[in-house]
Chains A and B, each alone.
Chain A
């Protein structure tokens, strides 16, 4: 364990490495470059591999290949690159390939503003690829959480045999903070399970009792068959309606039935508060500061800091908001997560967005001013 003073990007890379990742493939893009540069220098020292691919499509493809070859693998990108990765991200969900994709959100739409932060890809993270699908996405708010949640992302990827997204932003990626970095031995690391049956009996996509397949790495006696087409338990393609429906349901249920294993939101401020702020990522830092100041002014308020954003932590939010009258959602977009909150809290409490989408991080004063103007 050591205390370090590092950026969010570096903390993510260290989290990945300490979680056991030894393969990184990607394509250069701002504001991710400290992360990939770090990997290009550090992975080879550990016997790992860094490959700079011809584009982001190739980046995530190589990561999927390396993961199926038995390595813990990851990539990182930002807006335009995340768009390019969508098809293969869906492929990884379908083929149940463990991997971590770190998306450092920059101010978005089109080429956006490459070095400025945004949280405009929250719904793209949920629905960017075609087809009904589940996804796990985590959202760090501090550099420490960049490290901790990257480690968790790898654990969840292996545990659920699924891609896991880590959504940071340009502000947290470049922020440098004091971080406690645990070495690999001090972390609880989940590794992929290995087949318990003989090669003759092995079916790569036969689910265990938790709905998870056992993907033996390529090159072993257990023959692995992977396709992005709907497939049977042997890994051969199928268009059988019953088999297609069952596979689609299993892909969802393997995660949705075990949501309790995903990082729960953090709660700050007064318990059972009447006014609750919900935020995530860098804007949660401003929201939490606003709550601290508000409480000092005598306002009965609290704050939910999301750690998992997808699947949406509905149960946690309903429980934490059971006494709330007004819910303020703070985010750097035009109301993407606000919509989700409105969906689940409709009728129970008033949901008010506090949004900023001008390339700057929202400030605590802006948030508090807005709350005071509504509450007074």
Chain B
């Protein structure tokens, strides 16, 4: 289905494999999608940086051979703001988890978006904190069973895509690990967009979320994602009540607000 560019090998730290992710986890698919996109866009490893945070997704940096930055929990976008300022020509992909991006890093997400820092953010949303034992995150659907919501999550879900769209992102899309072709296309579009872009990828965590919510093992979770995630247009045509059973996938926004550093340098040179 996907053409694998020759340079693919150059981005992978082969000696670091096998990875630590559980069998059936979606993180590997997402990381591979990012790497393939960088290769296809001809961004050499030394011009690419993978910034991650803490949690399962945070470990992705251990498997890449391009520049790697792993920050403290939730702060990756704040760190990357400094990196992007110092190295404006670097392609920065921030790979965050749902807890990383939505909970502890929620404020940095809003402000990196609002500032329009030239970063592509990929949120791996596996509906829970996998590394620490399957607790719910803000991006976990309401009523979900998790290790800290045994009788169902009381809080409502945070729609991170709508949030960053409202905050001014230049590109926002959502898909799932099942829709790998679409994911790949979104990654390439997001990386090619100057300014802040974000792709949320819903990903199976069979170890915790699938098990707790009786969805099943990895193939069953993928099938579940296939059924659950419907195109944005179709989703929009549903009634409020019907919408409760689905999650949309697709491209929410694409625009071209000037990014922070370009605008800052222009403004400052005008007053000199």
Could you tell me which A residues sit within 8 Å of B by CB distance? 23, 25, 44-45, 49, 51, 53-55, 57-58, 61-71, 73, 87-88, 91, 199, 217-229, 235-237
Contacts and interface: CB of A to CB of B under 8 A. Distances in A.
Given A57-B75, A218-B90, A227-B70, 17 more contacts: A23-B82, A51-B82, A58-B111, A61-B81, A64-B71, A64-B79, A65-B86, A68-B86, A69-B82, A219-B46, A219-B49, A223-B45, A223-B67, A225-B61, A226-B68, A227-B62, A228-B72
Contact of A53 (B45, B68, B111): B111
Given A44-B268, A64-B79, A219 B67 contact: yes
B87 A218 contact: yes
B178 to A, nearest CB: 30
Interface in B64-93: 65-72, 75, 78-87, 89-90
A235 B81 contact: no
B108 interface: yes
Contacts of B107: 54-55, 58
B85 A224 contact: no
Nearest to A70: B86
Q: Is the interface of A mostly helix, strand, loop or mixed?
A: mixed
Contacts of B246: none
Nearest to B16: A236
A136 B85 CA distance: 27
A65 B80 contact: yes
A87 to B, nearest CB: 5
A223 B90 CA distance: 12
Contacts of B65: 223
Chain B contact surface mostly: helix
Given A51-B81, A218-B87, A219-B89, A224 B71 contact: no
Contacts of B86: 23, 65-71, 73, 217-218
Contacts of B84: 65
A236 B13 contact: yes
Nearest to B73: A87
- List 8 tightest A-B contacts by C-beta distance, closest first: A69-B86, A65-B82, A44-B268, A62-B82, A61-B78, A66-B82, A58-B78, A65-B83
B11 to A, nearest CB: 11
Interface string B157-177: 000000000000000000000
A69 B115 CA distance: 19
Nearest to A225: B68
B234 interface: no
